[in-house]
């Protein structure tokens, strides 16, 4: 059974837009995915019919909102294979989730300890650990990548030692599309260190197949807007035994057990790490996105995305004056490239005038761009609703861009 892409596209209202008279070709999915009508409807229905703060309210709307909100937690727990719903912590996104872990880890790190990251990190998984090390006296070690954008496994292994207390790395590189072999790396880390392991899953989650228990990491973080859900919403998953002892991130309402004027005690998971009024509509929208995605045959989804990636790569390799940046053997649908004809920003501007949306710049990975000796890249990234025809449209447009910039 093949994916019915036309039927899927029909569920995304924004794809019917035109930009400067041209049909929208949306190829910026690594930045954020578009939202199906099912997600839009779920959020609208909540605000229209059940809008209320959650928990403790003694009225019908509060009860309805709470059931939707906590039901969303159950949906996420099932989707990622969590052992308990208490392991699912709502955040504003991957960045906040990593900060929660780094904030707590900074209280544990000591001089002589090390934190291991990679050269392909998004700033959210680099700057955050820089600060944790600066605040604790620990050392940040950056494990190198190969020129093709793959992690250097031998160098990574050599960096594993008793001093490593935290390993934090991406499931998938947002800038290159490289899929890290985390199912191989996590057991390797376990065998050689006592480190905690955090996976930045922002780019990996939308492609399915994440089972946190099988992975055996300690933390996994992702954002709703990368998986067809709303912005401003994310998840930190952590092993219950680890989260129960984790230092609180924010204090205030909802996360307490008892309060006096002199002292306070914290509630149980997940409340202890969720201070304040949550993004209720965000959780509901994320649950709707997961339910929508789960109705698709993920094998068909993977085959479709791989076909798009292969097609784009073939076009790119045959395009004189265009160089692919990141040629890992195992990639998701991300094509980063530079052109002899002009700067990535100019490429993006001229493509937009033809109705094509891509991302340009350093992709929140400045050190990686420096490592690869490029000023930034143009990045086309593909999702379920993209087509081979759109890829052909992209490269026809790039021909026009090349002539305009020559």
Tens of pLDDT, residue by residue over 254-282, are 999 999 999 999 999 999 999 999 999 99
Considering its fold, how many domains does the chain have in total? 2
The answer on pLDDT for 4 being more than 80 is yes
Give all strands (DSSP E) within 58-128, no chain letters.
Answer: 88-91, 114-118
Q: How many CA atoms lie within 13 A of 76 on its CB side?
A: 33
pLDDT tens track for 33-85: 999 999 999 999 999 999 999 998 899 999 999 999 999 999 999 999 999 99
Please say whether the beta carbons of 220 and 210 come within 8 A: yes
Residue 35 domain flag: no
Roughly how many angstroms between the first and final C-alpha of the chain, as a whole number?
45
**Average pLDDT of the residues in 184-199:** 98
Do residues 315 and 236 share a domain?
Answer: no
The percentage of residues in the chain with a pLDDT greater than 70, rounded to a whole number, is 100
Same domain for 46 and 163, yes or no, is yes
CATH value at residue 9: 3.90.1150.10
Phi, psi dihedrals of residue 77, rounded to the nearest 5°: -55, -45
> For residue 314, is it within any domain?
yes
Q: How far apart (Å, rounded) are the C-alpha atoms in residues 221 and 214?
A: 16
On whether residue 33 sits in a domain, the answer given is no
Report field, pTM of the whole predicted structure over 0.85: yes
- pLDDT value at position 207? 79
- Cβ contact 79:85 at 8 Å: no
Helices and strands in the chain, H and E counts: 14, 17
| Domain end point (choices 263, 294, 325) | 294
User: What's the pLDDT tens digit per position in 205-220?
Assistant: 987 789 999 999 999 9
In 3D space, the residue among 239, 208, 201, 242 whose CA is nearest the CA of residue 223 turns out to be 201
Catalytic (active site) residue 364: yes
Q: CA–CA separation, 322 vs 343, rounded Å?
A: 12
Instruction: Name the token pair of 18.
Output: 């035109």
Look at the alpha carbons of 33, 38, 40, 43 in this order and tell me if their dihedral is positive or negative.
negative
The answer to whether residues 124 and 216 belong to one domain is yes
Q: Is 82 helix (H, G, I), strand (E, B) or coil?
A: coil
Residue 209 confidence (pLDDT): 85
Q: Residues 41, 12: contact at Cβ < 8 Å? A: no
Question: Are 346 and 379 within one domain?
Answer: yes
Residue at 34 is within a domain:
no
Average pLDDT over residues 126-138: 98
Query: Domain boundary at 294, 320, 345, which?
Result: 294
Regarding whether 144 and 255 lie in a shared domain, the answer is yes
Q: Which domain holds residue 259?
A: 41-294
Residues 153 and 300 in one domain: no
| Residue 203 within a domain | yes
* Secondary element (H or E) of residue 147: none
For 280-318, how does the pLDDT look when each residue is reduced to its tens digit (9 = 90+)? 999 999 999 999 999 999 999 999 999 999 999 999 999
Q: Are residues 80 and 222 in the same domain?
A: yes
User: What sign does the dihedral 308-310-315-316 (CA atoms) show?
Assistant: positive
Catalytic residue among 10, 15, 364, 405: 364
For residue 406, is it within any domain? no
Looking at the predicted structure, is the pLDDT value of residue 1 above 70? no
pLDDT in tens, 331-358: 999 999 999 999 999 999 999 999 999 9
User: Domain end: 272, 294, 316, which one?
Assistant: 294
- CATH, residue 90: 3.40.640.10
Whether 238 and 305 map to the same domain: the answer is no
State whether 275 and 154 are in the same domain.
yes
Per DSSP, the residues of 198-238 read: EEE-TTTGGG----HHHHT-SEEEEEGGGTTS-TT-EEEEE
Is 238 part of any domain? yes
Average pLDDT of the segment spanning 13-20: 97
Residue 229 and residue 342 in one domain: no
Q: Which residues contact 236 (CB under 8 A, 6 or more apart)?
A: 89, 91, 96, 97, 100, 101, 219, 220, 221, 273
DSSP of 150-202: -B-HHHHHHT--TTEEEEEEESB-TTT-BBP-HHHHHHHHHHH---EEEEE-T
The answer on 265 and 314 residing in a single domain is no
Residues 17 and 82 in one domain: no
Q: What's residue 152's pLDDT?
A: 98
Q: Is residue 402 a part of any domain in this protein?
A: no
- As a whole number, the mean pLDDT across the chain is 97
């Amino acid at each position: 059974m093949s994916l019915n892409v036309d039927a899927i596209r029909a569920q995304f209202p924004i794809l019917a837009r035109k930009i400067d008279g041209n049909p929208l070709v949306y190829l910026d999915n690594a930045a954020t995915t578009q939202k199906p009508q099912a997600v839009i409807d779920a959020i609208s229905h909540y605000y229209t019919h059940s809008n209320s703060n959650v928990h403790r309210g003694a009225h019908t709307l509060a009860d309805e909102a709470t059931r939707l909100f906590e039901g969303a937690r159950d949906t996420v727990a099932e989707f990622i294979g969590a052992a308990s719903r208490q392991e699912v912590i709502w955040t504003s996104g991957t960045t906040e989730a990593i900060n929660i872990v780094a904030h707590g880890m900074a209280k544990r790190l000591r001089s002589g300890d090390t934190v291991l990251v990679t050269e392909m990190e998004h700033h959210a998984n680099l700057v955050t650990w820089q600060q944790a090390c600066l605040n604790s006296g620990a050392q940040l070690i950056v494990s190198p990548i190969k020129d093709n954008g793959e992690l250097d496994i031998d160098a990574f292994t050599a960096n594993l030692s008793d001093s490593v207390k935290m390993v934090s790395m991406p499931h998938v590189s947002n800038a290159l599309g490289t899929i890290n072999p985390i199912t191989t790396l996590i057991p390797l880390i376990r065998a050689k260190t006592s480190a905690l392991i955090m996976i930045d899953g922002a780019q990996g989650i939308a492609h399915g197949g994440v089972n946190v228990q099988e992975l055996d990491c300690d933390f996994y973080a992702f954002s709703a807007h990368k998986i067809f859900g709303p912005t401003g919403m994310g998840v930190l998953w952590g092993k219950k035994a680890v989260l129960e002892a984790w230092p609180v991130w924010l204090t205030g309402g909802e996360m307490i057990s008892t309060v006096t004027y002199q002292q306070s005690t914290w509630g149980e998971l997940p409340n202890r790490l969720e201070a304040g009024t949550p993004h209720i509509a965000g959780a509901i929208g994320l649950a709707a996105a997961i339910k929508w995605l789960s109705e698709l045959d993920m094998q068909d989804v993977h085959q479709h995305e791989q076909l798009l990636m292969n097609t784009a790569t073939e076009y790119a390799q045959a395009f004189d004056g265009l160089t692919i940046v990141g040629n890992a053997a195992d990639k998701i649908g991300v094509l980063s490239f530079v052109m002899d004809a002009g700067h990535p920003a100019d490429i993006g501007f001229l493509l937009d005038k033809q109705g094509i949306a891509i991302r340009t710049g350093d992709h929140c990975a400045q050190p990686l761009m420096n490592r690869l000796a490029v000023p930034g890249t143009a990045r086309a990234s593909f999702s379920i609703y993209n087509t081979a025809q759109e890829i052909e449209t992209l490269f026809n447009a790039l021909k026009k861009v090349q002539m305009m910039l020559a």
